[in-house]
Amino acid sequence: MAASASRKQESRERLSRERVLASAIRLADVGGIESLSMRKLGEELGVEAMSLYNHVSNKDDLLNGMIDAVFAEIESPSLEEDWKTAMRTRGLSVRAALLRHPWATGLMDSGTTPGAATLRHHDRVIGCLRGGGFSFAMTAHAFSVLDGYIYGFAMQDKALPFDTPEDTGAMAAAMLARFPTGEFPFLAAFMREHVLKPGYDYGDEFEYGLDLILDALERRRDEV
């Protein structure tokens, strides 16, 4: 009692893989992936960095675990609903997860040793498309174009150097100011006439593209 009370109360519960992963995700959410180091993570947990290696085999394993935790947050596509609404919901759900965890964007498809939640997610996506009448070949096409788009869009959105409309204006001006007037006429007009108009938000583009692809897939479903 006295002994346990004398220790720093905060983070002195026993370490576990789950606690390590949760802490790492919080750190990456707040400060970005580049601010996540084994040493800082240890500090966050009130422990030396080296203790982490008892719960995670190295930093790569840590990242894999974090990714799988993100997939676990995404509800797997339903096998009851019709494929198109299920795939639409799932697309929006992945995007929402990547907005919560932008650091995961480049890593979701990092391939090596996917975790259980990751495999389950992919299993359900394939099951949903097969159940919707897609051949194996068409399932491969659909999977590829949908996930390519979903992750690629997230990457672009994340990389965008402006988060607010005010930033957008400043950025656009700075970008074009570095070059002779008229050197990039189409880009300049596009900025002026579209991007800088009030109400523009790049994030809004996501659904347009998702629906465009889903419609196109529906049209091609019965080919080949």
Q: Is 58 helix (H, G, I), strand (E, B) or coil?
A: coil
Burial zone of 131 (CB within 10 Å; 0-12 exposed, 13-18 middle, 19+ buried): middle
For residue 88, the partner it binds in a copy of itself, DNA, none, with Cβ less than 5 to 8 A by kind, is: none
Q: Which helix (H) or strand (E) holds 217?
A: helix 205-220
**Pick from 81, 120, 165, 169: which binds a copy of itself (CB under 8 A)?**
120
96 binds a copy of itself (CB under 8 A): no
**Pick from 9, 18, 31, 48: which binds DNA (CB under 7 A)?**
48
Alpha-carbon gap, residue 131 to 91, rounded angstroms: 18
* Range in contact with DNA (rule: CB under 7 A) among 21-29, 56-64, 108-116, 134-142: 56-64
49 binds DNA (CB under 7 A): yes
Look at residues 186, 190, 183 and name the one whose alpha carbon lies nearest to residue 168: 190
28, 35 contact by CB (below 8 A): yes
How near is the Cβ of 63 to a copy of itself at its closest, in Å?
Answer: 13
141 binds a copy of itself (CB under 8 A): yes
How near is the Cβ of 199 to DNA at its closest, in Å?
Answer: 37
**Pick from 22, 72, 99, 126: which binds a copy of itself (CB under 8 A)?**
126
For residue 161, the partner it binds in DNA, a copy of itself, none, with Cβ less than 5 to 8 A by kind, is: a copy of itself
Can you spell out the DSSP letters for 36-103? --HHHHHHHTTS-GGGGGGTSSSHHHHHHHHHHHHHHHSPPPPSSS-HHHHHHHHHHHHHHHHHH-GG
Q: Is 82 left (phi over 0), alpha (psi -120 to 50) or beta?
A: beta
144 binds a copy of itself (CB under 8 A): yes
77 binds a copy of itself (CB under 8 A): no
The binding site for a copy of itself (CB under 8 A) comprises 106, 109-114, 116, 119-120, 122-124, 126-127, 130, 136-137, 139-141, 144-145, 147-153, 155-156, 159-161, 175, 179, 183-187, 189-190, 193-195, 202, 205-206, 208-209, 212-213, 215-217, 220
